[in-house]
C-alpha cells in the first residue's frame, strides 16, 4: 500500500473524548455507552477555543455518547455527523476489565497482539481504520475532525503512517487530547500528537 499521494492537502484532526469513570480506572470501554465525568465535560469544553480557530469541512463523531458530548462541548456539535466506523475497539469478553486483571488469566495479554474472543483483533480494527481513511481521502477536503476513542484513534494514526495498526501500541493518547494527521511533503505523517489543553 502506497503512503504517497499527489494531493497532500488534507489534515485529519483526531480528538479523543473526555474522561469517563472507566477511562479513569483503566477499564476497557468499547461497546458500553458510558457518560463523561464532570472532569471529562470540563476537558471537552477546554477544546473549544482551539478548535474554533479551525474551519472543518467535515466533522464526524463516534456513535457513543461520550464522543458525541465531547464534540458538542468542544463547539462542533452543530456540524457533526455520526460515523459508525469511529466506534471504539470491540473488546469482546474483555469489556469493562483492566489489563492487569486480564493478565492474571492470560499473561502478556495485549489488545495489540492477543486474540479477543467475541471482539475485534488488531488486524480487523486496522482494516476498519484503513477503509475510513480511504473514504475520507476520496472526499477532497482540507480539514476533517474525528471525535472517537483512544485505541481506535491510535490504530487509525498507525495505519495512516505505516499501513498497519501495530505502531498504535507506541502512541499514548490522553483523554480530550488532540492529534493531527497530515503530510510531510507528499508522505503521510503524524504532524502533532497527544496535545493537551
Tens digits of residue pLDDT in 65-101:
999 999 999 999 999 999 999 999 999 999 999 999 9
When pLDDT is averaged across residues 164-184 and rounded to a whole number, the result is 97
Q: Does the structure show a pLDDT above 50 at 2?
A: no
pLDDT tens digits, 106-116 = 999 999 999 99
Rounded distance between C-alpha atoms, residue 165 and residue 135, angstroms: 18
Taking CA atoms, 12 is separated from 114, 147, 190, in Å, by 29, 11, 10
Q: Which pLDDT belongs to residue 62?
A: 98
In a domain? residue 107: no
- Closest by Cα among 136, 143, 102 to 119: 102
Q: How much is the pTM?
A: 0.94
Task: Name the domain count of the chain.
Answer: 1
Classify 195 as helix, strand or coil.
Answer: strand
∠ at Cα 51 (49, 53), nearest 5°? 80
In a domain? residue 185: yes
Q: Which pLDDT belongs to residue 8?
A: 46
CA torsion angle 17 21 23 24 (round to 10): 120
In a domain? residue 17: no
In a domain? residue 6: no
Catalytic residue among 88, 95, 120, 151: 88
In a domain? residue 134: yes
When pLDDT is averaged across residues 137-165 and rounded to a whole number, the result is 96
- Grid cell locating 75: 463547539
φ and ψ of 49, to 5 deg? -60, -40
In a domain? residue 26: no
Q: Which pLDDT belongs to residue 196?
A: 87
Q: Does the structure show a pLDDT above 50 at 7?
A: no
Q: Does the structure show a pLDDT above 60 at 175?
A: yes
Q: What percent of the chain has pLDDT over 90?
A: 92
Q: Does the structure show a pLDDT above 90 at 4?
A: no
Examine the residue annotation and report whether 186 is marked as an active-site residue of this protein: no
* Residue 92, C-beta contacts closer than 8 angstroms, at least 6 positions apart: 116, 117, 118, 119, 120
Residue 71: which CATH number? 3.40.50.1240
Q: Does the structure show a pLDDT above 60 at 104?
A: yes
In a domain? residue 30: no
When pLDDT is averaged across residues 112-128 and rounded to a whole number, the result is 96
Pairing of strands 143-148, 58-61: parallel
In a domain? residue 116: no
- Domain limits for position 147: 42-87+122-197
- Please, is 78 exposed, middle or buried when counting C-beta atoms within 10 Å of its C-beta (0-12, 13-18, 19+)? exposed
Catalytic residue among 17, 28, 149, 151: 17
Examine the residue annotation and report whether 3 is marked as an active-site residue of this protein: no
Amino acid at each position: 500500500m502506497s503512503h504517497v499521494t499527489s494531493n497532500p492537502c488534507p489534515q485529519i484532526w483526531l480528538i479523543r473524548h473526555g474522561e469517563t469513570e472507566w477511562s479513569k480506572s483503566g477499564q476497557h470501554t468499547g461497546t458500553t455507552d458510558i457518560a463523561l465525568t464532570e472532569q471529562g465535560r470540563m476537558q471537552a469544553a477546554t477544546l473549544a477555543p482551539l478548535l474554533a480557530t479551525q474551519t472543518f469541512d467535515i466533522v464526524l463523531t463516534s456513535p457513543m455518547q461520550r464522543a458525541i458530548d465531547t464534540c458538542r462541548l468542544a463547539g462542533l456539535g452543530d456540524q457533526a455527523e455520526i460515523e459508525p466506523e469511529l466506534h471504539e475497539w470491540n473488546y469482546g469478553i474483555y469489556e469493562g476489565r483492566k489489563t492487569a486483571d486480564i493478565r492474571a488469566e492470560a499473561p502478556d495479554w495485549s489488545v495489540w497482539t492477543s486474540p479477543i474472543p467475541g471482539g475485534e483483533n488488531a488486524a480487523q480494527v486496522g482494516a476498519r481504520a484503513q477503509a475510513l481513511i480511504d473514504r475520507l481521502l476520496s472526499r477532497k477536503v482540507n480539514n476533517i475532525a474525528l471525535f472517537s476513542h483512544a485505541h481506535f484513534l491510535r490504530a487509525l494514526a498507525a495505519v495512516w503512517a505505516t499501513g498497519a495498526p501495530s505502531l498504535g501500541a507506541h502512541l499514548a493518547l490522553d483523554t480530550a487530547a488532540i492529534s493531527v494527521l497530515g503530510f510531510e511533503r507528499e508522505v503521510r505523517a503524524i504532524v502533532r500528537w497527544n496535545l493537551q489543553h
